[in-house]
A and B are shown apart, each in its own frame.
Chain A
Amino acid sequence: MLELYDALSKKGVEVKFGIHPVAGRMPGHMNVLLAEADIPYDKLLDMDAVNPEFPQADVALVIGANDVTNPAARSDPSSPIYGMPILDVDKARTVMVIKRSMSPGFAGIDNPLYYLDRTMMLFGDAKVFVGDIVRELGAGH
């Protein structure tokens, strides 16, 4: 994770982390996980702080998150998670989702985010895939 952050920063890309309150299962859980990976604290943004930034972002990279990025929570009143605050990743210019398969997430709900034209699905193990991206970024030098 830190390697991806470093590789992108080196290329002059501004990287931030948008953290949903229940990401990683408990409030603050994800912050601790990222802090353990040596990501600087000031790059970790709360949901309320990061949501206005998505429309200006070139890429929203979703890694292993599902329900907290599901736009159905905003638009589909019949969805079981309708009304739940989410990260507005679908407002970024390009959305990339690293995911093992199309299977539904923790709450067992299909995610319309994956069918958007702007969305690229990157199927594979998150760790392997991030490693591949880092290698490609390095090769482009």
Chain B
Amino acid sequence: MSLPSDQLIQIAYIAAIALFILALKWLSSPATARHGVLAGEVGAVLAVAATLTESGVIEYRWIAVALAVGAAIGVPLGLVHMTAVPQRTALSHAFGALAAALVGGAEYYARLPHLTRFEMGEISLEVIIGSLTLTGSLIAAGKLQEILPQRPITYRGQNLVSLLVLVAAVAVAVALVIRPEQTRLFPVMVMVALLFGALLVTPIGGADMPTVISLLNSYTGLSAALLGFVLNSKVLVVAGALDGSSGFILSVIMCKAMNRSFSNVMFGAFGQVQAAAPGTKEERTVRSASAEEAAAILASANTVIIAPGYGMAVA
């Protein structure tokens, strides 16, 4: 071989990164979206293949098992109906976040005696974001699938309680950075972060879930990028950064489309307000019509604009 395999792997990573960027570019227009999806897929396969050929891999049997399990879960997920895509996306984020949190945990226990404080900081941050994204995404998916109530669940002082939980998670993380050998603290940090993820999403109404999901998407990207630093993997850093920023941009676009600020979505408990005005429920007249009448009017019209919504998609 003319090139050492290490260099080949690096080239494959760069190609994968380029494909990811092209994928995002192509996805921005319906005409090229199919190319975009393909580019993303090829990029991902390339990155996985390159990682598998790296010299650090000792045992392929478990990797094969993992691939089979992943495919067994992933294929049915990919076949869901288009209308179920938001909750399916949320589930994907949950899996991504779970993977990031697990790898972070594994790195912590594997490197424990020689962990520098900087590495510990990276791992802590990554595991916290991964854990909160896991529970947050699961709750988001549950709300969209209407397994959980869509209405925001709120109580007094909720934001304060959530904030305190987050502070607790950060405090445990700081303690771990100062004394990484305190192994008992690590599961505590994970538990607190998991709790925070759930608290973060439960007060948000079903109508805002898509915004939350794309925000969680950006969290997944962020934790993947951090994981890239921990594992020293450039391709993971870049892919995570792309994922993180695109998810964030998407959330901002959706907030604009609803004329709401970001903090309003996250802390406003939107969707519980309607109970406030029951007095106006007077008997206003509604004109209803049959299909024949509707067809007659439609047939004599010159221009018709159809405004489709989620209800049409379901039907």
Contact = CB atoms under 8 A, between A and B. Distances in A.
B95 to A, nearest CB: 19
B151 interface: yes
A57 B260 CA distance: 29
Contacts of B30: 28, 31-32, 35, 41
Contacts of A36: 82
Contact of B210 (A11, A25, A65, A102): A25
Interface string A1-36: 100100010010111111111111111111111111
A17 B210 contact: no
B312 interface: yes
Contacts of B307: 17-18, 20, 23, 60-63, 65, 68-69, 87, 89
Nearest to A99: B311
B286 A96 contact: no
B292 A136 contact: yes
B36 to A, nearest CB: 12
Nearest to B281: A110
Interface residues of A, number: 88
Contact of A17 (B272, B273, B306): B306
Q: Which of B205, B286, B292 has the most CB atoms of chain A within a 10 A radius of its CB?
A: B286
Contact of B309 (A28, A66, A130): A66
Contacts of B315: 64, 125-128, 130
B297 A110 contact: no
Of the four ranges (under 10, 10 to 19, 20 to 34, 35 or more), the interface on chain B belongs to 35 or more
A13 B74 CA distance: 44
B286 A121 contact: yes
Contacts of B301: 13, 58-59, 94
Contacts of A17: 305-308
Contacts of B213: 26
Interface in B283-315: 284-315
Contacts, number: 246
Nearest to B28: A28
Contact of B82 (A33, A61, A62, A115): A33
Interface stretch (B11-19, B154-162, B249-257): B249-257
Contacts of A25: 86, 144, 209-210, 310
Contacts of A106: 206-207, 310
Contacts of B259: 73, 81, 83-85
Given A22-B257, A30-B313, A104-B274, A16 B291 contact: no
Interface string B117-148: 00000000000000000000000000010000
Interface of B: 30-31, 82-83, 85-86, 144, 151, 205-207, 209-210, 213-214, 250, 253-254, 256-260, 270-274, 277, 280-281, 284-315
A133 B314 CA distance: 18
A119 B287 CA distance: 7
Contacts of A108: 151, 205, 207, 271-274
Contacts of A117: 287
Contacts of A32: 30, 82
Given A18-B306, A33-B313, 6 more contacts: A20-B257, A25-B86, A66-B309, A108-B271, A125-B315, A133-B295
Contacts of B303: 13-16, 53, 56-59
A15 B312 contact: no
Contacts of B254: 21-22, 26-27
A79 B125 CA distance: 40
A16 B306 contact: yes
Interface string A103-141: 010111110001101011111011111101101110010
A123 B293 CA distance: 13
Nearest to B286: A121
B257 A21 contact: yes
A22 B313 contact: no
Contact of A92 (B292, B305, B314): B305
24 contacts: A13-B298, A14-B304, A20-B257, A23-B309, A24-B308, A27-B254, A31-B30, A36-B82, A59-B301, A60-B306, A64-B308, A65-B309, A68-B309, A80-B273, A84-B260, A96-B294, A98-B311, A107-B270, A107-B271, A110-B281, A122-B289, A136-B292, A136-B294, A137-B295
